[in-house]
Amino acid sequence: MGPVPTDIKKSAPPAPRSTGPTAGALLLESARRNMRQYGMLIALGLIVVLFQIWTDGVLLKPNNVTNLVLQNSYILVLAIGMMIVIIAGHIDLSVGSLAAFVSAACAVMMVEHKVPWVLALVIGLVIGAVAGAWQGFWIAYVGIPSFIVTLAGMLIFRGATQIMLGSRSLGPFPEGFQKISTGYLPSVGPNTNYHNLTVLMGLVLIAVVVVQELRSRRREQEYELDVLPKGIFITKLVAMIAAVLAFTMTLASYRGVPVVLLILAALLIGLGFVMRNAIVGRHVYALGGNQAAAKLSGVKDKRVTFLVFVNMGVLAALAGIVFAARLNAGTPNAGVNFELEAIAASFIGGASMSGGVGTVFGAIIGGLVLGVLNNGMSLVGIGTDYQQVIKGLVLLAAVGFDVYNKRKVGS
């Protein structure tokens, strides 16, 4: 155990004490608490800068940024669900196979049975929920380790996909379905060289962010909590606005906001909120952090675990649908190794093998680190063989750095 900071008072200078800790202390404190996340955010920034230079500016060209979002969307969807599973102290190896199974089922429905695409989409998501419930049942209520249950699921869903499709690729899909992955928000209004709706959304987003931050700051002051000093707060706000603005203008100067980005944003905000501010989210953290203590505190451990896997099932189905829409076909080998990418993204983004730690936002960061690496390395012509080696090393380094850091803090 580190030096327990109980003797702070003793070492404080006799000078008139301010009402709260200093700004520097506050910043350090919040940095220490969010080490992994800030670390990864900085790492992501460095990787972006590196490839931006290496590719002579191609990386951040509007069409490539859009492409990056589209390429990684399904992994990001999976990573969000996987992060929650890992926070709960479990793992899910079946998501790649399940995604393939759902995409195949949608393909069969739409191509062979002419089911309307909206209906196929809904049925696809329901299949995902049922598959998640199936696995959640064995894990939560029967008590089989998730590694085993989902390893079985990986084989079962892959096999079922191949039984359904044989060696065929089924396509093409109705245009509406394709739009899930390849569509953009419609162009409206006068020609401004930018995508108007996107700019508008960006401005709304900025307004929401500013209002939220201000409200939260005011409430913290009402509750007499320590807040960041005004200067630093404004700097933080400006940085956030700049980031949002840069991103929206980049998208707006190409074809606007892709539909799939809206889906991702909804998941990030929705599930991020649930994990942070809903009771069930808190219970997930408590279960992963100390299952015995959570149970003795009245957390319905089985139900929460079950729900986590149902959620993962739905997200895996969604990832499968997005992937199929992008490919415009259902194929028997869709989604191979997706589970590994999603797990890697979660760990790079701050999850811990023993559970209880991590955020949905972290999963996105982790997914983007991998995505930018993929994209950047492809742009500069590094082969997929070397890409895998490098991604492996990045995963090892990210978690290694975290383990080292924790040991230093905790010793």
Partner 1 sequence: MTGAPVLEMRSIVKTFPGVKALSDVTLTVAAGEVHAICGENGAGKSTLMKVLSGVHPHGSYDGEIRFQGEGCSFKDIRASEARGIVIIHQELALVPYLSIAENIFLGNEHAARGIISWNETLKHASRLLKRVGLKEHPQTRVADIGVGKQQLVEIAKALSKKVKLLILDEPTAALNDEDSAQLLRLILELKEQGITSIIISHKLNEISAVADSVTVLRDGRTIETLDVRSEETTEDRIISSMVGRDLDHRFPDRTPYDGTADTHPALEVRDWTVHHPIDQQRKVVDNVSVHVRRGEIVGIAGLMGAGRTELAMSVFGRSYGRNISGTVFKDGKQIRTKTVPEAVGHGIAYVTEDRKQYGLNLIDTISRNITLSALPKVTKRGVVDEHEETRVAESFRKTMNIKTPTVFEQVGRLSGGNQQKVVLSKWIFAGPDVLILDEPTRGIDVGAKYEIYTVIDQLAAEGKAVVFISSELPELLGMCDRIYTMAAGRLTGEISRAEATQEVLMRHMTMDKR
Residues near partner 1 (CB under 8 A): 1-2, 4-6, 8, 21, 29, 33, 219-220, 222-223, 225-226, 276-279, 281-283, 285-286, 289-290, 292-300, 352, 356-357, 410
The number of CA neighbours under 13 Å toward the Cβ of 280 is 13
Q: What is the C-alpha separation between 175 and 26, in angstroms, rounded?
A: 52
Tell me the closest approach of the beta carbon of residue 340 to partner 1, in angstroms.
26
Tell me the closest approach of the beta carbon of residue 275 to partner 1, in angstroms.
11
Q: Using the minimum distance from each CB to partner 1, give the nearer residue, 352 or 374.
A: 352
Q: What is the C-alpha separation between 137 and 119, in angstroms, rounded?
A: 27
Which of 329, 393, 395 has the alpha carbon at shortest distance from 40?
A: 395
Q: What is the C-alpha separation between 265 and 263, in angstroms, rounded?
A: 5
Q: Using the minimum distance from each CB to partner 1, give the nearer residue, 39 or 62.
A: 39
Tell me the closest approach of the beta carbon of residue 34 to partner 1, in angstroms.
11
Q: What is the C-alpha separation between 233 and 57, in angstroms, rounded?
A: 32
Measured in degrees and rounded to the nearest 5, phi and psi for residue 167 equal -110, 15
Q: What is the C-alpha separation between 364 and 343, in angstroms, rounded?
A: 12
Tell me the closest approach of the beta carbon of residue 381 to partner 1, in angstroms.
43
Q: Using the minimum distance from each CB to partner 1, give the nearer residue, 335 or 350.
A: 350
Tell me the closest approach of the beta carbon of residue 289 to partner 1, in angstroms.
4
Q: Using the minimum distance from each CB to partner 1, give the nearer residue, 90 or 195.
A: 90
Tell me the closest approach of the beta carbon of residue 221 to partner 1, in angstroms.
10
Tell me the closest approach of the beta carbon of residue 83 to partner 1, in angstroms.
16
Q: What is the C-alpha separation between 107 and 109, in angstroms, rounded?
A: 5
Beta-bridge partners for 170:
330
Q: What is the C-alpha separation between 95 and 312, in angstroms, rounded?
A: 8
Tell me the closest approach of the beta carbon of residue 88 to partner 1, in angstroms.
13
Q: Using the minimum distance from each CB to partner 1, give the nearer residue, 50 or 226.
A: 226
Tell me the closest approach of the beta carbon of residue 351 to partner 1, in angstroms.
12
Tell me the closest approach of the beta carbon of residue 32 to partner 1, in angstroms.
10
